[in-house]
Structure 1
Amino acid sequence: MLRNSRKVLLQNSVRPIIYHKKTFLTQEYKCTEAWKKMNSSPVFNKININDFYNVVDQNYTSKGVISAIDVDIFANAIKDSSHLEELKDMLHKLRLSAETGNMLESTRQATVRNYMEFGDINELVEILKNPLNFGVFLDYYSANILLDNLITTANYEQAARVAALMMLQEEYDNDITCTLCQYACLKYITNYVPPEPVPAPPEQKNKKVEEIKIRIKFLRNPYFDDHFDIQDTFTLSGKTLAWISERVKDNLSNNLQIIGWLIYRKFDKLSAFCETISKEKSFKVYAEVLKLLQRETGIVDAESKPVLENCFAILNKVQQTPSDVSLEESLKNAIENAINKSHKNDVSNQEQLYSSWSKIREEKLAEQAQRLDRARRLQLVQEKQKELETEEQKLWFFENEDKIDLQIEEKEKLVDKSTLKKKVTKTTDENYIPPEIRPKKK
């Protein structure tokens, strides 16, 4: 009895305390009830998700055809994590088919919500980073929900990658999205730790390396578009911060734009912008901006160092913000202001979207059912025609005997002669001497 009591006491004493960090977005913004209502259609009660996937997969394997509406139904019917790999597989197959242009918007948001609720967010970000293979793009509302989740869990690297995706799509119309992207990039940049350099392997002397030559048709000239080809998250964060901030003309965005051009390594634009902005009387520089400038000045090469030193000298002469006002807190206030401004409108737009998506799904289902029914009836008609032709041939055989014989002869002519057995040809040799035949000995 004493042992059991001690065990219960120990379990209660080591129970972890869970702290819930405050999020930017409210539960109302996520429109969970409206989303569930959209997916409460009777069609979801009629399907077995395991059998449904098998049928779609077999149809794709045998015919190479997959329907966008089938993928949408599967994506919205998922209730646990066991079907996420199948969803990923179906998205890839749809991307490889001609139906990829018909992918529904509800499929994309369902993918984001499913991975956030049941799966791994890191895997979701990898899917989003590879639209060529999966075709999943973020809209404003799914991006806001995803960014809010990543920022709350302090996963700033993945949050910066998501923000970069919105920059690559050049989507800047939603104030909440823009401010959350700015915050994600700023947190990643300020917390960035450069990776340690990998030591070069020791050179092995007097070792002959066998050259392997491969014949190729052509060589592509090296090309870097400085946009989609950027793979470094740190550089992408700088470009995202610069591009989003230059579209807003206020003191906070001006400071963020300086950081963006600095991290993006566009020192010519940074120098020109510092010259221009320092002349505005309303501009005030944050202490964090000056610290980042000093940090990067000690890292860059000798050629770029004078440019950054000049920028620092220019900004150091500008009036600074009060010491109790930080750049991060100002950006948090900007996020709250954007949410207060756009929250009601965004929630209303989402509810309208979900209602329209539900109607679109019903229309697509009706069209697909009508198309399948038409194909089925056409197949039945063709089979009936063949049966009638066979019966007609039997009934009118003697009247059409000559015609049938001609058809048989034509078919025989079409037979590939190479399939026929070759006749053995006997060849004679003039110099051939037959063997001598002697009588048998008695």
Structure 2
Amino acid sequence: MLRHSRKVLLKNNVCPIIYQKKNFLTQEYKCTEAWKNMNSSPVFNKININDFYNVVDQNYTSKGVISAIDVDIFANAIKDSSHLEELKDMLHKLRLSAETGNMLESTRQATVRNFMEFGDINELVEILKNPLNFGVFLDYYSANILLDHLITTANYELAARVASLVMLQEEYDNDITCALCQYACFKYITDYVPPEPAPAPPEQKNKKVEEIKIRIKFLRNPYFDDHFDIQDTITLSGKTLAWISERATDNLSNNLQLVGWLIYKKFDKLTAFCETLNKEKSFKVYGEVLKLLQREAGLVEPESKPILENCFAILSKVEKTSSDVSLEESLKNAIENAINKSHKNDVSDQQQLYTSWSKIRDEKLAEQAQRLDRARRLQLVQEKQKEMQDEEQKLWFFENEDQIDLEIEDKEKLTDKSTLKKKATKTTDENYIPPEIRPKKK
């Protein structure tokens, strides 16, 4: 629609006013009002967030127990940056407890929104990269909001890292998420500058080094799963681009898939895919793909260089796309098309989710209140039974005097044995005479 209106204005010799696009997603997509309404429950008006954290922390320290609903209420009650460290601490403690399986989805999205609004994006990405310790995973909507923020602020490295998290979760059902992930990874790959090799350490004369041997129980065999073990952001970007683009067959996705296999260094798959595309008459290659092939051919090891040169030769014979349309511009158009297609449904789904999350929270709170009330009443019953037993013992003391004396004697025997053992160990320690050490005779 925007391109059509631009063409009409140019045809009529009218200079259009160019507005700089700040975000791909609109404010409506973020559903800020629906999120605030979800957290406007009367429960939050009764909470003093400082005291609430102290009570939960003391309960965890003394009993080792923490409730998922308490963490959810704390996460959604945060209004400034002063409680983000406490939230991080509570997420970690919940992850260490048996309640971690009961973490609510609203807790995860609240964590993302709080760190985006009040905290540091770098710290948020570190939390997302470490689900083993914090248990925070992205859903489609929080991923879209976070990716949109990182892309529009030109923080492509963190955006590519977030896109790789989506890839690691292997969730590709949302078109907006896939398009944003493709754009983030492509921008990071094109802007990537390989680090300069570290200078060689100065040569040192051979010195005798004393060997230190350590006894270990077993030696773990080295293993690399080529998925969760990948730590390099550029490699993750290539794999993300290849895996997400693999699910579609349009011309743009095919070009991005080529870039993905290239950066992922899966040259066998790259060669096979180039030969497949060479046979398709509808395929057109972008100039940026050929430039990336040339760039990587100059960086790879000598044995891999002929493979990339062969791929470049195959793609050079393929019909090129129009020089007016770049790969980046096509990606932006793909994002706009995905947003136009899914925006209304995503907003509606989010509003329904927030309503259901509010109901789930109320149900969990009611269940916890009943459970605590039951435990409190059980404790009162046990205390009453103990009082009745003590009263019964007083009333029937003379009838059960012999039995009580026997119990007292048994207790005294136990205490006497323990004290005797302690005394015996002390005496042996006091009477211990160390052996005399004499100098060796020459």
- Structure 2: how far apart are the matches of 1:418 and 1:393? 28
Alignment of 1:141-290 (within 5 A): 141-290=141-290
CA apart distance, 1:379: 0.8
Alignment of 1:13-412 (within 5 A): 22-412=22-412
CA apart distance, 1:201: 2.2
- Structure 1: how far apart are the matches of 2:397 and 2:20? 86
CA apart distance, 1:20: 7.3
Count of residues in correspondence between the two structures: 407
- Structure 2: how far apart are the matches of 1:127 and 1:391? 57
Alpha carbons of 1:335 and 1:211: their partners in 2 closer, same or farther (altered >3 Å)?
A: same
Give the counterpart letter for 2:22 in structure 1: K
CA apart distance, 1:411: 2.6
- Structure 1: how far apart are the matches of 2:200 and 2:140? 44
RMSD: 1.5
Alpha carbons of 1:347 and 1:412: their partners in 2 closer, same or farther (altered >3 Å)?
A: same
CA apart distance, 1:21: 5.0
- Structure 1: how far apart are the matches of 2:414 and 2:407? 11
Deviations 1:52-93 (A, max 9, x none): 111111111111111101100000000000000000000001
Q: Secondary structure at the match of 2:210?
A: coil
Alpha carbons of 1:422 and 1:154: their partners in 2 closer, same or farther (altered >3 Å)?
A: closer
CA apart distance, 1:303: 1.1
CA apart distance, 1:22: 1.5
- Structure 2: how far apart are the matches of 1:136 and 1:212? 42
Identity level (%): 89
Give the counterpart letter for 2:85 in structure 1: E
Deviations 1:385-405 (A, max 9, x none): 111111111111111112212
Deviations 1:266-322 (A, max 9, x none): 000000000001111110000000000011111111111111111111100000001
CA apart distance, 1:198: 1.3
- Structure 2: how far apart are the matches of 1:185 and 1:397? 83
Give the counterpart letter for 1:266 in structure 2: K
CA apart distance, 1:416: 6.0
Q: Secondary structure at the match of 1:35?
A: helix
Alpha carbons of 1:422 and 1:321: their partners in 2 closer, same or farther (altered >3 Å)?
A: closer
Give the counterpart letter for 2:279 in structure 1: K
- Structure 2: how far apart are the matches of 1:46 and 1:377? 24
CA apart distance, 1:217: 1.2
- Structure 2: how far apart are the matches of 1:39 and 1:256? 41
CA apart distance, 1:419: 1.6
- Structure 2: how far apart are the matches of 1:77 and 1:400? 59
Deviations 1:327-372 (A, max 9, x none): 0000110100000000000000000000000000011111111111
Alpha carbons of 1:416 and 1:301: their partners in 2 closer, same or farther (altered >3 Å)?
A: farther
Q: Which runs of 5+ in 2 are unaligned?
A: 1-18, 428-442
Q: Which structure's CA Rg is the greater one?
A: 1
TM-score of the superposed pair, with normalisation by structure 1:
0.90
Give the counterpart letter for 1:349 in structure 2: D
CA apart distance, 1:199: 1.1
Deviates more, 1:194-203 or 1:329-338: 194-203
TM-score of the superposed pair, with normalisation by structure 2:
0.90
- Structure 2: how far apart are the matches of 1:413 and 1:337? 85
Q: Which runs of 5+ in 1 are unaligned?
A: 1-18, 426-442
Q: Secondary structure at the match of 2:281?
A: coil
